[in-house]
Structure 1
Amino acid sequence: MTIYIALLRAVNVGGTGKLPMAELKAMCEEVGFEEVRTYIASGNVVFRSRKSAAQLKAALEKRLALYAGKPVGVAIRTAAEMAEVGKANPFPEAPGNRTVAIFLDEPPPADTLKTVTHQNGEKIRLGKREVYVYYGDGMADSKLKIGAAKNGTARNMNTVLKLAEMAAAY
């Protein structure tokens, strides 16, 4: 059985997409996830399953759409992949709360960095299926736009490392 992490897009952020974690846990169990645990209220789920990542993504997105009345994006990573995201952080000396990994379904396009707009001191690096961003002055006032990351979901490095740790403890 594989250990996975599901990351929901735009859940409980800035007053949008309200979803109590107890309800999310119940929905995950409904679609067949096993040993489900959530972490903080931003849509992070650690669980076990025999299904493929694609099957899990499709099942959870379908269930979430029924709940929300609109599509809710989900990124899925195995425990090993999440650990690798943490290890591959190109800004290891930066504070974990100012560095994010934006999780994508596919590798970022080769021209990702050329299409960035409103960059003002943020540092950006490409990963396997992630875009890493270090917000030196914090995220609150950043106007950074990364077109390739539009449908992704971001987690700060503190959260990435905690999810990897939770998954490793299964």
Structure 2
Amino acid sequence: MPTHVALLRGINVGGAGKLPMAQLREVLESLGHADVATYIQSGNAVFTPDSSAPTADLARALEDAIEAAAGFRPPAVVLTATELEAVHADNPFPRVTEPKQLHAGFFPAPLGKTYAAQARDAQRLAHEQGSRDEVVVEGPVVYLHTPDGLGRSRLAELLGRIKADGTKPQGTFRNWVTVTKLLAMLDA
């Protein structure tokens, strides 16, 4: 049974970062990982690592291997099953019943007070402009509720511009449908 999930940023989006899921499975297997399975075409995989290496090391090795195999380096976040279960359990928007309106942003490290303050400022600005979107930052996870859809979300646009400590954090967002499906794949 898989014990970890890998989330890649910018895979197969808008004609850039082409990486067939069969190739992603091959890359993960070439690193010695087992129980590899992918979900949809946007860079989601579950696997059991070949060692007890920290997730940051697993992510870096995956980035290196994809760069060697495909010629580009997508940022990767690797989580244990326990970490993904905690993200699901800690959802600050339990009243949201439409899973496509809820998103989780996964980052390789806690985002800190500066990012959280900028996210709150972005939400305030979006609300002033008529948005109903909400954001909560919890360590390395950004929860985003977009009742009018992500594609029309002013808050999501503003969050994409945040540069905490002078650099833009390299994370990746998934809607709640994907989060739930990856959890099910880990439990299978």
User: TM-score when scaled to structure 2?
Assistant: 0.82
Q: Report the Cα offset of residue 66 of structure 1.
A: 2.1
CA–CA separation in structure 1 for the residues paired with 2:16 and 2:133: 25
Residue 81 of structure 1, aligned match among 83, 95, 99: 83
CA–CA separation in structure 1 for the residues paired with 2:45 and 2:39: 6
Q: Which moved more, 1:13-22 or 1:108-117?
A: 108-117
Q: Does 1:44 align with 2:44?
A: yes
Q: Which runs of 5+ in 1 are unaligned?
A: none
* Paired position in structure 2 for 1:123: 134
Contact kept? 2:63, 2:76, Cα under 8 Å: yes
Counterpart of 1:145 in structure 2: which amino acid? L
- Report the RMSD for the aligned CA atoms in angstroms: 1.9
Secondary structure class of the residue paired with 1:111 = helix
Residue 101 of structure 1, aligned match among 100, 104, 113: 104
Q: Report the Cα offset of residue 157 of structure 1.
A: 1.1
Contact kept? 1:83, 1:161, Cα under 8 Å: no
CA–CA separation in structure 1 for the residues paired with 2:72 and 2:47: 24
What is the aligned length? 169
* Paired position in structure 2 for 1:32: 32
Q: Report the Cα offset of residue 60 of structure 1.
A: 0.5
* Paired position in structure 2 for 1:90: 92
Contact kept? 1:8, 1:73, Cα under 8 Å: yes
Counterpart of 2:9 in structure 1: which amino acid? R
Q: Report the Cα offset of residue 2 of structure 1.
A: 7.4
Structure 1 segments, 4+ long, off by >3 Å, are none
Provide the identity percentage: 36
Greater share of helix: 2
Q: Which runs of 5+ in 2 are unaligned?
A: none
